[in-house]
Chain A
């Protein structure tokens, strides 16, 4: 592979391209600089002509600073010509210039400049000088930066003699901004070209090489770069390195919010795990009749938009709530820890339910039989066998819910009241006080516990599974509960589900009420207004999600194939980076995206593209995981056969891999769609006047107490999501050949 000939060829081509690249960059930037200088010269010449006619010090003091309106960020200093000495002496102007002048006035360059001015010739010094602009700060420049120095004569009315001279400093930054952009582009061109060259020269399968390269590009630009930018900016205050932001972040004000987040997380995780375990146990381990209905209803909250439950809780228990005010005449407030915990438990217990179900399902009933056979009671068996065996699932569920609760943003935004959590504090800092640095620092504070929980879940619990299938698994299910116990469990579960259904029905009811809390008479007016004000948002939201869905699905499956089937350097790094967004709170991603993409060369803030990219990047981990699991169950010989018969990598992917991982492909697409439709945390930072998101609109309506409109939009959103989700479920099942054979082998 690395033969001498190829290496020489590569080096030659690389050298050729690099020199060409460098040459073009130099020419272009030199051209640009020359142009810039010329323009500055002209501007300065114009400025010199505006010199006041009356030669009083006061007139000059007023005139000198007007240079800023001609060249942004420039400083000027006026020297009068002292005829007795035959010299220019400092008169008035910017301190910055004076300091530089005093430092350098005896240098040959400066002397030459003064001489030139004496002969009425303007001159620009060839070098660039470090000038201390903080002596005379303004919005354009307030630190010590390299700058260009111009000297121009102020000619008397006759045009024969220099009355005085002006020294003008133009900071490089304004001139070099463009050159920097140019440099970035040329470096990018060189990197891309070298990457392509490298792949063509040294891989025998360039197609795979390009895919890997592209994937690395995507991951570095859209995951690594924004996060690094967020870290960098949290250490910078007013343009210089500073720990100020972090000092503020770690102050008691925000530690209270951290404590609030943790308390809420622990409460939510614990209660959700208990409720989830109850549901999982009832469905997987008892002879309960309505398993299917129950498990569908119990997963509903996962696919409904995050605001909807909060909205419904406010409608029922809020300050003007139906139950709290109208029925019970209570004065307690739902806003705060209790209400938040309630909403989060309802929204997140399905995560616990699904995780624990997966583990319970795999416990072989024979071990429980064996315990009962050894004359343990059912309760003893449950305590000694079933519970310990499902422990990894329980811990896993707890950690997952904990992570989700900490990252939750939508519910606290509506329901937290005086209770403070980190995710919303970060949002307030960014939107209320446009303090992006502090916002990102707060989000990083939030990242510590979430990342810890995520890593524990990943590295330790997931591997510490007790489920080992030995021998022939029994298909019988041993009833571990006595009838009264089971009936109690059933009743509690139904009551819980009933409450959830009631919450959803409340939203539907909210659509048809004139003014919730005050006037409960029937109306259809909400629909008209909601549709007319929300129509563009609905269209935008669906459009963006519809673009993101297939993109994320295809990218996920392609990535999974590369990770599972191909060997390439840096695979571990790529895998880790792709999985990163899964552990990161949406707030942090949103903030890091505005920090990274609000400037050239990647000016994306305000476009629809940034929203789509954000969807794709955030939902990629789940899709890739699904794809990897699916691919591991497929015999590699199937793909090798196809390659052997003449199919190249894209063909193998299209004709073999994609059809075989179809269930994973479709389910990751439906996941992406649902999540994109109901996203809040990152999206709220990225929406713009051009691209709005339905959930944000719902939030705005709820915040302004327009509950009717919020209800209508929530209902519409729930129905769109449900429809697409159901459609995908049908598509997964409609599969004649692969249904059973996929995992045979």
Chain B
């Protein structure tokens, strides 16, 4: 593999409108997105379907044109540049392998277009196929390979042209769970080794968490939050992000006061302390208290914040999920290492407790 200098990717106020055919209003797929991806970084675009993540990726690749805004790869503006002139390589969800060519010819395609001498092509294709573990598969037709192997061919085909930016559009969604995990690790390894800047689109939060340097959470064309996986999970700043990246319960509260470190709020008639809050939380107004299942504890009735009754326990081995019926509805509490802790049997009355630094106040709006 040839060494290449890593480059950054910058999106400046990028908006994409799709004209609606039947004279209805236009659909805004991406709305004023600003994003700077550092050289060598792997950034995941995460969001539900229709949030604009694939459109964003396709704009970076050049398959779609932004309606307004600018895109830079390195220091060069590429907003209007056609895909074949950009130094990007895309891996498609459906792989887009050329069915009329052998595996070897598929991988060699990009090099042939670059007029690389035949000798060198052979050498480099074999090298790249070996790297993705398909050394002996050159003569096969793509249709004769399994899904995972096809995916590797697509990867090899993208990597052999040593792109500055690798774009991955849900590349693992057609694979089974086990293979997906393997490939995920492999892609990450290769990307780190080669130092390629990568943009990865997925709707799978586990994939996003485990793979990325940073995660961009999108909804309805808007970027909702950008941050490392831990920040996105632990310190979401909106109810949507909190709910999308992991399980969470939202308790309605009234924010009463804020001192230097803590917020004071009213939760079901009792006072509760919370030490962190997202954007748009205002004293004197309603808000929600976000709690992850693993942040909640079960204690003796009357000694916690919320009273309830155990409706069902689900044993998972390393943890136990307790579904508690409360006046706020059903609340999920996760008890890690259940052997070492007290487990309240189904039907017994309990109280739910939490530490102020393990929960977070968020604006009550879903958006």
Contact = CB atoms under 8 A, between A and B. Distances in A.
B100 interface: yes
B82 A204 contact: yes
A645 B89 contact: yes
Interface string A649-689: 00100011001101000000000000000000000000000
B110 interface: yes
B96 A660 contact: no
Interface stretch (A235-243, A352-360, A734-742): A734-742
Q: Which of A643, A648, A662, A738 has the most CB of B within 10 A?
A: A643
A643 B83 contact: yes
A211 to B, nearest CB: 14
Contacts of A738: 99-100
4 closest A-B pairs by beta carbon, nearest first, are A637-B96, A641-B96, A645-B110, A741-B99
A745 interface: yes
A54 to B, nearest CB: 84
Interface in A198-224: 204-205
Contact of B83 (A635, A640, A745): A640
Contacts of A639: 96
B110 to A, nearest CB: 4
Interface string B46-67: 0000000000000001110100
Contacts of A744: 99, 143
B114 interface: yes
Interface in B97-115: 97-102, 109-110, 113-114
7 contacts: A205-B82, A638-B99, A644-B61, A646-B113, A647-B84, A647-B113, A741-B141
Contact of A644 (B80, B84, B93, B101): B84
Interface string B255-297: 0000000000000000000000000000000000000000000
Interface string A306-322: 00000000000000000
A659 B106 CA distance: 14
A744 B145 CA distance: 13
B92 A640 contact: yes
A640 B161 CA distance: 15
Contacts of B97: 638, 641
Interface string B23-67: 000000000000000000000000000000000000001110100
Q: Which of B86, B109, B142 has the most CB of A within 10 A?
A: B109
Given A635-B94, A651-B113, A645 B99 contact: no
A217 to B, nearest CB: 23
B81 interface: yes
A294 to B, nearest CB: 33
A638 B84 contact: no
Given A205-B82, A655-B109, A741-B141, 7 more contacts: A637-B96, A638-B96, A640-B83, A647-B84, A737-B100, A737-B141, A741-B100
A741 B102 CA distance: 12
Interface residues of A, number: 30
A637 B63 CA distance: 10
B102 A737 contact: yes
Nearest to A738: B100
Contacts of B142: 741
Contacts of A205: 82
Interface residues of B, number: 36
Contacts, number: 92
A662 B99 CA distance: 12
B214 interface: no
B102 to A, nearest CB: 7
Contacts of A742: 99
A1 interface: yes
Nearest to B167: A644
A1 B83 contact: no
A642 interface: yes
B334 interface: no
Contacts of B86: 644
Interface in A616-638: 635, 637-638
B90 interface: yes
A637 B114 CA distance: 21
B90 A640 contact: yes
Contact of B143 (A644, A660, A740): A740
A648 B96 contact: no
Q: Which of B83, B95, B113, B141 has the most CB of A within 10 A?
A: B83
A740 B144 CA distance: 11
Nearest to A634: B99
Given A644-B89, A741-B142, A635 B96 contact: yes
Contact of B90 (A1, A641, A656): A641
Given A644-B83, A648-B84, A741-B142, A637 B100 contact: no
A741 B96 CA distance: 12
A358 B194 CA distance: 53
B364 interface: no
Contacts of B102: 737
A745 B94 contact: yes
A733 to B, nearest CB: 15
B134 to A, nearest CB: 17
B157 interface: yes
Contacts of B94: 635, 637, 745
B363 interface: no
A742 to B, nearest CB: 6
A639 B154 CA distance: 13
A738 B81 CA distance: 32
Contacts of A745: 94
A737 B88 contact: no
Contact of A660 (B84, B95, B99, B154): B99
Nearest to B63: A640
A648 to B, nearest CB: 5
A700 B244 CA distance: 80
Nearest to A645: B110
Interface in A474-497: none
A740 B83 CA distance: 29
A643 B92 contact: no
Contact of A1 (B80, B81, B85, B93): B80
Contacts of A659: 100
Nearest to B89: A644
B94 to A, nearest CB: 5
Contacts of B62: 643-644
Nearest to A744: B143
Interface string B302-346: 000000000000000000000000000000000000000000000
A646 B110 contact: yes
Contacts of B61: 640, 644
Contact of A204 (B65, B109, B114, B143): B65
Contacts of B100: 659-660, 662, 737-738, 741
B107 to A, nearest CB: 10
